[in-house]
Amino acid sequence: MAAARKPRYETELIDVKVEPIEMVDHPQHYNEHPAGIECITVVEEMSFNIGNAIKYLWRAGLKPDTDSDQDLRKSIWYIERERDRLAQQ
């Protein structure tokens, strides 16, 4: 039986733990507002439409790969929806 051949180059395996980017429970852009708190802390006691409008204003421009204009337009959409809801009461 032939002797085991020694590798020409020796390598060392390093066990590296890579943390996945959290996009559901506290993603990074949720905590980037200068106030230092998450938007949900402020809006969870508001109506759905008003809370969402504030959420989009709060996070405008903070979410990766999105622009502020999109967030601002979403906020306006929720404000208009709330105005329509109130007008029907």
Classify residue 20: in a domain, yes or no: no
pLDDT at residue 4 greater than cutoff 70: no
Domain total of the chain: 1
How confident is the model over 11-28, as pLDDT tens digits? 666 676 767 766 677 677
In a domain, 82, yes or no: yes
The pLDDT assigned to 7 comes to 62
Count of CB atoms situated within 10 Å of the CB of 82: 17
Instruction: Please report whether residue 1 resides in a domain.
Output: no
List the one residue out of 85, 88, 86, 76 whose CA is nearest residue 52: 76
**What confidence tier does 73 reach under pLDDT thresholds 50, 70, 90?**
very high
pLDDT at 53: 97
In a domain, 52, yes or no: yes
Joined together, the tokens standing for residue 12 give: 């060392």
Q: Which domain holds residue 54?
A: 28-87
Task: Report residue 44 as tokens.
Answer: 């969870």
